[in-house]
Amino acid sequence: MQLLKKIKQGSPGWFLLTAGIILLLLIPNLNIIINLFGKAGENWEHVRDYLLINYFQNSLILVLASGLLAAFLGAGLAWIIAAYDFPGRNFLSWGLILPLAIPPYIGAYVYQGMFSYTGPLQTFLRNDFQLQLSQQYFDFMNIRGAIFIYTIFLFPYVFLMTKAFLSRQSASLLESSRLLGKNDSTIFFKIILPLSRGAVVAGSSLVMMEVLNDYGVVKYFGISTFTTAIFKTWFGMGDLATAVRLAVMAMLVIFVLLFLEKLLRGGRKYSYSTSNIRPLSRRKLKGSKKVLAQFFCYGVFFFGFLLPTIQLLYWSFLSRGGELLGTLNFALTSFLTGGGAAVLILTGAVIVATTARMSSSFISNLLARITILGYSIPGAVIAVGVLLFMLQLDQIFLFLQTGFGIEINLVLSSTLVMLIFAYAVRFMGIAFNSVNSGYQKIGESYFEASRTLGKGVTETFFKIDLPMLKPALMSGFLLIFIEIMKELPLTMILRPFNFDTLATKAFEYASDEMIYRAADLSLVLIFFSTAAIYLITHHRRRKNNAVEN
């Protein structure tokens, strides 16, 4: 009855469309679980008895270590930026997000290239100082190296979430702690860290999901994880059934992580007893503390963005004029695929979020959970689910054609349709969150005012909601666009024959030790990502200023 009460307010069209979208998002995941009960592949026993434990171990070590280190690094930096003032702070408050513009697999080959025997560091030491150090000091291609790469390029997730959280905290909290005689480090560990635990855990769980999703770094470094194993059994051995089983195992790991996240975030939600909150005022740093803060922040920026970018520029310079036409070609493919897919995904998300808004909180929470599911599951797993689904569809088409003579000259597997569908499964959650937070900012009364003025749900949507959602749609578009530009595992598995994006080609060149060629493509990719990050952060800033004035 309660359900009916809320549904009645919307229009059935929106609910039907939403139900369709949700079903499409769920099918690939359900497919995998159902297939678990099917026949095991021929390699499964071997994998289970000899390799599985290794996959588990490696994946867990990578995920937990990177998650933990990124949590400390991100939370510490967020605290410095939120609570202190020093020269360069303004730039760093968005500059420290920039490591996200460099996909970890590009960072991995850049660092490996720098540290290798023929790389600039060792060459420099050899030629100018006659230093010949043991290669073990420079060995980057191991678990420790991978953890470093993940931490330095993914910590901004924690940084962003914690910084946003801290900017909403009350100044009197800190001031009263100081008046009670606590020094800054006590305040950080006793007040700030426990208070922002939820934000830090949320950011860190994003890092862990990215690590589990990653294919490029571990493949390049030769570390076996679930993702590489799925690739190997599928492409190397052509054993889809075993790949499915591995995918289920990876999903189990994810569910354990999600459960842990919930546990760590805790049921406790702190809220203020008063609505009148004065935001944190930043303390000016002087002397050695200032230098220390600058040294730390710029240091992280240097290793997470500046150094790899300079190295890439240098390589690109060495190969100048190399493959300009090819680069442009891949850039165009990436651009069109990313842009087109982002528009499609955003359209779907707008439909789902609009329905969520008209529904009871139970339904809208459920919709939010389902859309974000794809982002928690590693790309390689989604790829398996999507491929199974498309193969089933093709079989149905074939059946209709041979059985009933209905002409459907349509094959979906290994087409761009399949790839874009997979992107949608993976990134729908990001789009949904953008649109949903846009709706929350707008509130309900405009919608209701329009209804009482005689406009139905759909007309209200086009005349009122859509124009007011524009900023949220813009930042949602940019977020999905860069995610798709950087995306590797889904694209590698599901792309049509001869279809290459900047990401896949850069990774291929790097894997073939054609670093100079990879450099051009990587730079274009980083340029687009940086531009998108700049647009998103500076658009928000302008808006914040407008509110303050």
Partner 1 sequence: MQLKIDNLTFAYNKKEGNIVENFNLEVQKGEVVALVGVSGSGKSTVLRLTAGLEIPDSGKISIAGQTAAGDHKFKAAEKRKVGMVFQDYALFPHLSVEKNIAFGIDHLSKANRKARVRRLLELVNLEGFEKRYPHQLSGGQQQRIALARTLAPGPELLLLDEPFSNLDAELKDKIRRDLNEIIKDVGVTTILVSHDREDAEFMQAREVLMS
Interacting residues toward partner 1 by CB under 8 A: 1-2, 5, 8-9, 443, 445-446, 448-456, 463-464, 467-468
**Measured between alpha carbons, how far is 347 from 81 in angstroms, rounded to an integer?**
36
Closest distance to partner 1 from the beta carbon of 475 (Å):
18
DSSP assignment of 56-91 equals HHHHHHHHHHHHHHHHHHHHHHHHHHHHEE-TTHHH
Closest distance to partner 1 from the beta carbon of 547 (Å):
11
> Could you tell me where the DSSP H helices lie in 84-119?
89-95, 104-115
Question: Looking at beta carbons only, is 302 or 446 nearer to partner 1?
Answer: 446
Question: Looking at beta carbons only, is 463 or 541 nearer to partner 1?
Answer: 463
What's the length of the chain?
549
Question: Looking at beta carbons only, is 9 or 176 nearer to partner 1?
Answer: 9
Q: Check if the beta carbon of residue 388 is closer than 8 Å to that of residue 28.
A: yes
Q: Is 287 left (phi over 0), alpha (psi -120 to 50) or beta?
A: left
Question: Looking at beta carbons only, is 261 or 465 nearer to partner 1?
Answer: 465
CA distances from 96 to 100, 218, 278, 299, 522 (A): 9, 24, 25, 10, 19
φ, ψ dihedrals at 134, nearest 5°: -60, 140
Joined tokens for residue 486: 């950087």
Closest distance to partner 1 from the beta carbon of 6 (Å):
8
**Measured between alpha carbons, how far is 471 from 492 in angstroms, rounded to an integer?**
32
Question: Looking at beta carbons only, is 358 or 386 nearer to partner 1?
Answer: 358
The CA-based angle 393-395-399, given to 5 degrees, is 120
φ, ψ dihedrals at 236, nearest 5°: -70, -45
CA distances from 137 to 143, 145, 513 (A): 14, 11, 21
Closest distance to partner 1 from the beta carbon of 11 (Å):
9
Question: Looking at beta carbons only, is 80 or 358 nearer to partner 1?
Answer: 358
Closest distance to partner 1 from the beta carbon of 454 (Å):
5
Closest distance to partner 1 from the beta carbon of 1 (Å):
8
Question: Looking at beta carbons only, is 43 or 450 nearer to partner 1?
Answer: 450
Question: Looking at beta carbons only, is 2 or 402 nearer to partner 1?
Answer: 2
85 burial (CB, 10 Å; 0-12 / 13-18 / 19+) is middle
**Across-strand partners of 84?**
283
**Across-strand partners of 85?**
284
Question: Looking at beta carbons only, is 1 or 325 nearer to partner 1?
Answer: 1
Closest distance to partner 1 from the beta carbon of 81 (Å):
31
Q: Check if the beta carbon of residue 383 is closer than 8 Å to that of residue 493.
A: yes
Joined tokens for residue 445: 């009364």
Closest distance to partner 1 from the beta carbon of 272 (Å):
20
**Measured between alpha carbons, how far is 204 from 182 in angstroms, rounded to an integer?**
28
Closest distance to partner 1 from the beta carbon of 22 (Å):
24
Name the helix (H) or strand (E) containing 536. helix 515-548
End-to-end CA distance of the chain: 46
**Measured between alpha carbons, how far is 100 from 109 in angstroms, rounded to an integer?**
16
Closest distance to partner 1 from the beta carbon of 352 (Å):
22
Long-range contacts of 536-541 (CB under 8 A, 24+ apart): 536/475, 536/478, 536/479, 537/94, 537/97, 538/94, 539/471, 539/474, 539/475, 540/475
Closest distance to partner 1 from the beta carbon of 432 (Å):
23
Closest distance to partner 1 from the beta carbon of 366 (Å):
17
Question: Looking at beta carbons only, is 403 or 454 nearer to partner 1?
Answer: 454
**Across-strand partners of 284?**
85
Question: Looking at beta carbons only, is 265 or 455 nearer to partner 1?
Answer: 455
